[in-house]
C-alpha cells in the first residue's frame, strides 16, 4: 500500500480542515505549500496529494503555485479541487501534474469528464467519491447528492475509470481512525485510494488489510503522530 502525504491549500497557505468544514481551518508551522512538498519529496514520498481548497470552494484558484511545485520537485503529484472544465484539466496535466482528481465534474457533466479520460487515459484521472453517511457530496463537500458510494463505483468503472479517491467526510481530519468497514467492502471495485481519519500506525496496518492501493494522510503527519518513513514502513509490512 502506498502512503501519500497531503497538502491542502487555502489562501496560498498549507492548512488542514476537519470534516471538510472551512471554519475549522488550522495552519501549521510549515505554512508554505511549496516547502512542505519539498520536505515530503526529500523524505521519500512516491506521490504527493495536493488539494486546492480555494478552487473547490469557487474562489481564486492556486493553479500557478501548484504548477510551480510540480516543476520544482521530482516526486509526482496528484491534484484536486475545483477542476470543473477541460481547460483546467489540460492546464494541470500538460503543466507537469501526474494525475488529477475529479469530483463534481463526472457527476454534473459526465460527457466533459469522459473527454478528459479519453484524452489522458485512466492512469491520470482519479474520481473523487467523497461520502457522508453513504451519500456522495460535491462542490467542495458543500452539496449532498442522491448518489450512493457503491452504485457510483459500479457506474464509473463501467465508463472506464480505474482510480478512485474515497474519502469518509465524517472521518476526515479527526484522527479517529478510517472507515475500514467501507474500504473492505469496496476494495475489489477499482483501484481505491483511502482518505480520512488516519491517526496512528495501527490505523495504517488496519487499512492495509482492507485491500486499498493507497492511503492519503495529512493531519497525522503534520502533528507528528508518526513520520512519513514510519508510515511507509508500516504500509510495506
Q: Is 69 helix (H, G, I), strand (E, B) or coil?
A: helix
Which DSSP state fits 130?
Answer: E
Q: CA triplet 61, 63, 68: central angle to 5 degrees?
A: 145
Cα–Cα distance between 186 and 176 in angstroms, integer?
A: 21
Distance of CA 185 to the CA centre of its chain: 20
Point out the catalytic residue in the list 52, 54, 130, 172: 130
Cα–Cα distance between 43 and 109 in angstroms, integer?
A: 38
- Would you say 228 and 40 are in contact if contact means Cβ atoms under 8 Å apart? yes
8 an active-site residue?
Answer: yes
Active-site amino acid positions: 8, 130
Amino acid at each position: 500500500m502506498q502512503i501519500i502525504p497531503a497538502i491542502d491549500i487555502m489562501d496560498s497557505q498549507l492548512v488542514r480542515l476537519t470534516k471538510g468544514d472551512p471554519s475549522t481551518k488550522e495552519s501549521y508551522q510549515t505554512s508554505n505549500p511549496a516547502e512542505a512538498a519539498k520536505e515530503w519529496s526529500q523524505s521519500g514520498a512516491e506521490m504527493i496529494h495536493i488539494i486546492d481548497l480555494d478552487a473547490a470552494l469557487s474562489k481564486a484558484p492556486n493553479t500557478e503555485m501548484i504548477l510551480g511545485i510540480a516543476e520544482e520537485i521530482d516526486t509526482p503529484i496528484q491534484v484536486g479541487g475545483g477542476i470543473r472544465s477541460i481547460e483546467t484539466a489540460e492546464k494541470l496535466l500538460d503543466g507537469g501534474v501526474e494525475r488529477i482528481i475529479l469530483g463534481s465534474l463526472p457527476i454534473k457533466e459526465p460527457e466533459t469528464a469522459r473527454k478528459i479520460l479519453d484524452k489522458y487515459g485512466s492512469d491520470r484521472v482519479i474520481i473523487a467519491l467523497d461520502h457522508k453517511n453513504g451519500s456522495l457530496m460535491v462542490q467542495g463537500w458543500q452539496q449532498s447528492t442522491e448518489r450512493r458510494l457503491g452504485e457510483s463505483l459500479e457506474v464509473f468503472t463501467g465508463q472506464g475509470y480505474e482510480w478512485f479517491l474515497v474519502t469518509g467526510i465524517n472521518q476526515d481530519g479527526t484522527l479517529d481512525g478510517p472507515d475500514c468497514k467501507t474500504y473492505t467492502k469496496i476494495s475489489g471495485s477499482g483501484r481505491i485510494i483511502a482518505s480520512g481519519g488516519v491517526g496512528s500506525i495501527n490505523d495504517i496496518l488496519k487499512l492495509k488489510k482492507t485491500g486499498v492501493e493507497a492511503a492519503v494522510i495529512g493531519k497525522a503527519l503534520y502533528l507528528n503522530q508518526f513520520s512519513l518513513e514510519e508510515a511507509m514502513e508500516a504500509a510495506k509490512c
